[in-house]
């Protein structure tokens, strides 16, 4: 179906495995530049209780049957397929008021986030269905009672209520971690730009890559859906603080302790350093960044810079530079190549922003841009929601209120001067918690003082300077690997942050019991659990034959002074503790010369390896290496190597095997302990 050719059209919801139009014709959604209808939206007649049930009963089990690697492969295939439809998404995106650059953030940024989670899932998660969280907690001296935290997917549905400003990224940045966790989603895009989300969901469903029920879409109101959420469901919300608060206190959400993640208004600050005087590279970078943040997406970005905190003596030069730069912003219909900033999402939204500028004017004067008379190069001056960038200046920000309270969700920022670093931090904190702040400085002391002052009030803090100028991803870009969310006014939620975002959709459970039973539950051998030694060397076994708990107890080797000296001269590590008896004795940790830790590890390998070619392909590292007891000349070493976990790769002929390695001395004391990581073939040659 060619969506562009048939518009304006009635949007449909994708529920219970089928596309469904609302019972009524619906509310028209207008092109932000021309005012022409793009689509009609309505969701009346949908049985929302059944939508939740379908996700829980059909999507959930299908996703949970897959391992993390299989889900990651699914996200990768989906991301790659979506790239094929990019041009179609871009064409429709212009109707939302987005320029090509804005659409890149939304469309490529969204698909990139999906692909990034696919890759994280493959590289950072095991090929299992349950995650282990942290180390074993030994709860008894004789190792008969221990505990291990695990994370397993919630068995409900994630309801994602999204904002109008990023119809693609806003959906995908939440969907990727949700699906990777093994939880189905119901996406509810903001009505204003839902036509683009709907198009992307159509393409997603058409690929047939997602299991049935993993993704449902509601175009229009969610009706009574929230009345039916339960304790295994999760709700995420991005939008206004007022709606967020209303939903967070919804009866079913409160009564059923439904996880609720909120990302709302955020009065993000950018601080210009005391060292960053006009003429410095940091000053120029700051000007560029503030202007960019004001104009990208016409300032309709949750991370945009709203408060510009600058040394008092540089404020005049800063305003001058910003006025000059903002004045060059070409405003118009984003369908035109030359246009650098498009309109706001709707005329209502523009009225809202103008009202907020009036609120801000109680504290600040407008120093650039006329909110009433946009000067546009293309588009409809009457029906298009155009607004020039508006810069305000507040001379006494310490005693002002509105500039720290009011979010004008458009191309609007306020410059506020400060005199000391403390004062800059105080002003930024007056935003009562934000998604992001940035600090432009080349002075490490200023960076330390201000960043540590800002950190408890922000989900992300970016430092900008001349060194990172070319590589910096910028103030306003949430990244898949970094936390996105902020405390207090920003909603108190957290999204993304790599695997942290996946765990938001999983339940952490402490499992206690005898180690052998814990091993059975978690799939990981742990100290005290049964092990099988004797028989074939475990390095002779392929993944198909190897079992958790397969163990090798090696022969012994006595360490001599000659060994230590040989190792020292051979490697060049002639640290005194290995070479000088008297100096070693003076060291509080040693009782005379000791063997190198790496000599112990090397001897251990010499004791446990099986030398012939076989299923073990490579040793790719060790984890958690600790030297626990010094080894003196004459001590005798022995190794106990136990297969700890087995992680077959979904799309390869090998997998990873983690071995618990314990090196003991003649008294049985552990001298070194670590995990040996190997690649092992799935089958024998
Ligand atoms: P809203 O809070 O009105 O809407 C956000 C989302 O919530 C939309 O999907 C909306 O759907 C949905 N929604 C609204 N009411 C309900 C309800 N009772 N039950 C379930 N879902 C509901 O914000 P807007 O998008 O209208 O934006 C308004 C303001 O919010 C902006 O001017 C800006 O200040 C702020 N905002 C902040 C963002 C941020 O990330 N910090 C992002 C976007 C907006 P529908 O569209 O169908 O009403």
What would the pLDDT profile of 18-38 be if each residue is shown by its tens digit?
999 999 989 999 998 888 999
- What φ, ψ does residue 39 adopt, rounded to 5°? -160, 170
Atom number, ligand 1, closest to the C-alpha of residue 188: 9
| DSSP string across 192-223 | GGHHHHHHHHHHHHHHT-SPTTSEEE--S--T
Which residue CA neighbors atom 29 of ligand 1 most closely? 240
Q: How large a percentage of the chain has pLDDT more than 90?
A: 91
- Residue 308 structure tokens: 């510009």
Atom number, ligand 1, closest to the C-alpha of residue 238: 40
- Range list for CATH 3.40.605.10 in the chain: 9-263
| E strand spans, 444-578 | 458-464, 483-484, 495-496, 506-513, 551-558
- Range list for CATH 3.40.309.10 in the chain: 269-477
Distance, CA of 372 to CA of 64 (rounded, Å): 54
Give tens-digit pLDDT for 230-263.
999 999 999 998 999 999 999 999 999 999 999 9
Distance 353 CA to ligand 1 centre (A): 14
- Point out the residues that are catalytic: 263, 302
Which residue CA neighbors atom 15 of ligand 1 most closely? 243
Query: The domain 531-681 belongs to what CATH superfamily?
Result: Hotdog Thioesterase (3.10.129.10)
**pLDDT band at residue 1, thresholds of 50, 70 and 90?**
very low
Which residue CA neighbors atom 16 of ligand 1 most closely? 243
Enumerate residues lining ligand 1, CB below 6 A. 161-165, 188, 190-192, 221-222, 238-240, 243, 247, 263-266, 302, 352, 407, 409
Burial class (CB in 10 A: 0-12, 13-18, 19+), 326: buried
Which residue CA neighbors atom 10 of ligand 1 most closely? 190
3-class secondary-structure state, position 609: coil
Distance 196 CA to ligand 1 centre (A): 16
Distance, CA of 615 to CA of 596 (rounded, Å): 31
- Range list for CATH 3.10.129.10 in the chain: 531-681
Nearest to 234, CA basis, from 575, 626, 478, 501 = 501
**pLDDT band at residue 406, thresholds of 50, 70 and 90?**
very high
Distance 192 CA to ligand 1 centre (A): 10
Among 120-129, 221-230, 495-504, 567-576, the minimum mean pLDDT is found in 120-129
Q: What is the reported pTM? A: 0.90
Which residue CA neighbors atom 46 of ligand 1 most closely? 190
Distance 456 CA to ligand 1 centre (A): 26
Ligand 1 pocket, mutate which of 240, 346, 409, 436 (most atoms under 8 A from CB): 240
The predicted pLDDT at position 684 comes to: 81
Q: Is there a contact between 262 and 492 (Cβ–Cβ < 8 Å)? A: yes
Distance 333 CA to ligand 1 centre (A): 24
Nearest to 26, CA basis, from 12, 37, 42 = 42
Nearest to 420, CA basis, from 319, 309, 269, 318 = 309
Q: Is there a contact between 630 and 591 (Cβ–Cβ < 8 Å)? A: yes
- To which residue do tokens 């518009």 refer? 7
Average pLDDT for 286-297: 96
3-class secondary-structure state, position 110: helix
Atom number, ligand 1, closest to the C-alpha of residue 435: 41
Distance 454 CA to ligand 1 centre (A): 27
Would you identify the CATH topology of the domain 9-263? Answer: Aldehyde Dehydrogenase; Chain A, domain 1 (3.40.605)
Q: Cα Rg for the chain, rounded, in angstroms?
A: 30
Give tens-digit pLDDT for 525-536.
999 999 999 889
Q: Over the chain, what is the mean pLDDT?
A: 95
CATH 3.40.309.10 correct for 269-477: yes
3-class secondary-structure state, position 273: coil
Atom number, ligand 1, closest to the C-alpha of residue 266: 41
- To which residue do tokens 């009225």 refer? 351
């Amino acid at each position: 179906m060619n969506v562009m050719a048939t518009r304006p059209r009635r949007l449909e919801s994708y529920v219970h495995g089928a596309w469904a139009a609302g019972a009524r014709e619906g509310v028209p959604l207008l092109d932000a530049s021309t005012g022409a209808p793009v689509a009609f939206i309505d969701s009346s007649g949908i049985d929302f209780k059944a939508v939740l049930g379908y996700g829980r009963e059909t999507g959930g089990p299908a996703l949970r049957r897959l391992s993390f690697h299989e889900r990651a492969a699914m996200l990768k295939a989906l991301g790659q397929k979506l790239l094929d439809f990019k041009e179609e998404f871009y064409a429709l995106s212009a109707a939302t008021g987005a320029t090509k650059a804005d659409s890149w953030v939304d469309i490529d940024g969204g698909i990139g986030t999906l692909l990034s989670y696919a890759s994280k899932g493959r590289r950072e998660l095991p090929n299992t269905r349950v995650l282990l969280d942290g180390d074993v907690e030994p709860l008894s001296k004789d190792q008969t009672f221990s505990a291990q935290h695990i994370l397993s997917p919630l068995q409900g549905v994630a309801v994602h209520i999204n904002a109008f400003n990023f119809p693609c990224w806003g959906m995908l940045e939440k969907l990727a971690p949700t699906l990777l966790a093994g939880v189905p989603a119901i996406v509810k895009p903001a009505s204003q730009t839902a036509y683009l989300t709907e198009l992307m969901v159509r393409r997603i469903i058409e690929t047939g890559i997602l299991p049935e029920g993993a993704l449902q879409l509601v175009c229009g109101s969610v009706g009574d859906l929230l009345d039916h959420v339960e304790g295994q469901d999760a709700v995420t919300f991005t939008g206004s603080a007022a709606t967020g608060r209303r939903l967070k206190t919804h009866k079913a959400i409160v009564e059923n302790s439904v996880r609720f993640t909120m990302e709302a208004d955020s009065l993000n600050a950018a601080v210009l350093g005391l060292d960053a005087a006009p003429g410095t590279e940091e000053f120029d970078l700051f000007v560029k960044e503030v202007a960019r943040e004001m104009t990208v997406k016409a300032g309709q970005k949750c991370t945009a810079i709203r408060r510009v905190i600058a040394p008092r003596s540089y404020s005049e030069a800063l305003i001058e530079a910003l006025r000059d730069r903002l004045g060059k912003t070409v405003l118009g219909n984003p369908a035109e190549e030359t246009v650098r900033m498009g309109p706001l999402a709707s005329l209502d939204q523009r009225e809202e922003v103008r009202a907020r500028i009036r609120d801000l004017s109680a504290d600040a004067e407008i120093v650039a841009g006329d909110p009433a008379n946009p000067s546009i190069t293309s588009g409809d001056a009457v029906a298009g929601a155009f607004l020039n960038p508006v810069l305000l200046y507040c001379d006494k920000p310490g005693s002002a209120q509105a500039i720290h309270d009011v979010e004008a969700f458009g191309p609007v920022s306020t410059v506020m001067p400060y005199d000391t670093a403390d004062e800059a931090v105080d002003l930024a904190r007056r935003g009562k918690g934000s998604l992001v702040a940035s600090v432009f400085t080349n002075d490490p002391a200023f960076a330390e003082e201000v960043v540590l002052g800002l950190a408890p009030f922000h989900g992300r803090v970016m430092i900008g300077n001349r060194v990172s100028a070319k590589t910096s991803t910028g103030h306003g870009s949430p990244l898949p690997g970094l936390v996105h969310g902020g405390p207090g006014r920003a909603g108190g939620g957290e999204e993304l942050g790599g695997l942290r975002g996946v765990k938001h959709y999983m339940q952490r459970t402490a499992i206690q019991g005898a180690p052998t039973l814990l091993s059975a539950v978690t799939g990981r051998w742990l100290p005290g659990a049964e092990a099988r030694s004797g028989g074939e060397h475990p390095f002779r076994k392929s993944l198909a034959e190897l079992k958790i708990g397969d163990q090798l107890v090696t022969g012994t080797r006595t360490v001599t002074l000659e060994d230590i000296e040989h190792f020292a001269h051979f490697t060049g590590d002639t640290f005194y503790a290995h070479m000088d008896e008297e100096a070693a004795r003076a060291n509080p940790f040693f009782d005379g010369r000791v063997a190198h830790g790496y000599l112990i590890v090397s001897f251990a390998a010499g004791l446990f390896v099986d030398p012939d070619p076989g299923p073990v392909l490579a040793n790719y590292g060790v984890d958690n290496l600790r030297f626990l007891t010094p080894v003196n000349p004459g001590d005798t070493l022995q190794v106990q190597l136990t297969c700890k976990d087995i992680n077959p790769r979904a799309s390869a002929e090998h997998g990873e095997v983690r071995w618990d390695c314990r090196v003991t001395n003649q008294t049985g004391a552990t001298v070194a302990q670590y995990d040996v990581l190997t690649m092992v073939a799935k089958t024998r040659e």
